[in-house]
Amino acid sequence: MLLKFKNHITQTFPFLEKKKLLLATSGGLDSMVMAHLFAQLDYDFAIAHCNFQLRGLESFGDQEFVSTAADNLKRQFFITQFDTEAFAKDYKLSTQVAARELRYNWFYELLETEGYDYILTAHHADDNLETFIINLSRGTGLDGLIGIPEQNESLIRPLLPFSREEIKQYAEDNAIKWREDSSNASNKYLRNKIRHDLVPVLKEINPNFLAAFQKTQEFLQEAQIMVEDASIMIYQQVAKEIGDEIHFDLNQLKRLTNYKSYLYQWLKEYEFSAWDDIYELVESQSGKQIFASEYRLLKDRTTLILSPIPEIQQEEFYIEINDKEVNFPLKLKLCNVGHITIDSNKAIFVDADKIRFPLLLRKRNEGDVFHPFGMNGKSKKVSKLFKDEKLSLIEKENTWILCSDNQIVWVVGIRQDERFKIENTTNKILKIELQ
């Protein structure tokens, strides 16, 4: 196995040779063999052990065992202890999920604080099979069937091609000691039920089942690459990136025979979960939204708009009489001028004597009314202006209103108010420009 492992590392992870590695080591069979293999190949690594304090004295026995093993291997040893049950209770997580979150947060912290380059875990081929069956039993797409990835950025799993049987045989041949986790014998957890009851039956039906499974996963991974390539090609036809938003053209999207699959490929990284609602959004009324933890998807006429959920911000800002420039939340420039120039809606010219400072810059309020420039004093609801301008919900949320004494001076970047316009009697002209 040592030669096979060496060849695997050389071919798959050649960049590890000169790097500082952090080996996640529980004291069990798999992680102890991984440490032994890397020691035989003389890699630069340290050992990191988490004591989750879930099995009383046994947990502390594991800790002492791994500490001694690190000394014997002459490797630096990092240890931490967690009150896993309290963490799980506080954050309403299962014990397994809590333990996973705690250990990986700590591992990544060690990378940063201690200057290590990669975290290595001892997941192997049987773990991969068990994960596949768990995902299959819960209902999953292609992502859940392609298996545990060999690398996630700085996290590497070098034992994935090796079976539990190979690893155990190597340990016995090289007199490697390990600790048995008593919880692995219990069928309390789904993974253990699969390991003890289902997998042995599959291997009895086909003694080469694990090898056949690995070949199937290779085919699935190749299919996934094809899906990703097709997804990128179609994305370029359907999507347009505008600032921090992505606009999906629904007319183009609905021409695809399987647009739901493409939507899933494009949106899965944003952690959406209500997929049926997302698919229905395509035919929903304009204005409907679906939310993930940090993003939202908005139906706006013939477009789906993906955007970050805006942070709650201060909604009112004041501009004093001596302010010549404003840099937040908008960049505005205020200056007195001698005459009006033909300009875009990025600037307005107002009678300075009609303005009362401080000016107020705020977001729209329900029921806002103003007198649009050019309408001879007629009033109009700001909401009606937004509708006439065909603004999306996101554009409405991002529009600011400039006020003087509770009267709207400017729906910024869109329309000036008639009441503050330049007249024959105007003595001073104030130009307010959006930059």
Q: Which residues line the annotated binding site for ATP? A: 26-31
307 C-beta neighbours (distance < 10 Å), count: 21
* Alpha-carbon 228 to chain mean position: 18
How far is C-alpha 266 from the geometric centre of its chain's CA atoms? 13
Residue 72: count other Cβ atoms within 10 Å of its Cβ: 11
Closest CA to 32 of 195, 128, 170: 170
Note the helical H segments in 73-174.
84-90, 95-114, 125-138, 142-145, 164-173
How is residue 342 written in tokens?
């033909």
Burial class (CB in 10 A: 0-12, 13-18, 19+), 37: buried
Please state, in angstroms and as integers, the Cα–Cα distance from residue 36 to each residue in 33, 41, 158, following that order: 5, 9, 13
DSSP3 helix / strand / coil % (the chain, rounded to 5): 45, 20, 35
* Residues sharing a CB contact under 8 Å with residue 287, sequence separation 6 or more, in sequence order: 298, 299, 300, 393
Q: How far apart are CA 106 and CA 110, in angstroms?
A: 6
Classified as helix, coil or strand, 378 is: coil
Burial 309-344 (b: 16+ CB within 10 A, else e): eeeeeeeebebeeeeeebeeeeebebeeeeeeeeee
Q: CA 271, CA 306: separation in Å to the nearest integer?
A: 12
The Cα–Cα gap between 416 and 347 comes to 9
Phi, psi for residue 255 in degrees, rounded to 5: -80, -15
Residue 292: partners with Cβ closer than 8 Å, 6 or more residues away: 270, 271, 272, 273
C-alpha–C-alpha distance, residues 365 and 425, integer Å: 33
- Rounded to whole angstroms, what are the CA distances from 431 to 54, 283, 337, 424? 69, 45, 7, 17
Do you know the residue count of the chain? 435
Q: Residue positions in the annotated binding site? A: 26-31
CB 13 within 8 A of CB 158: yes
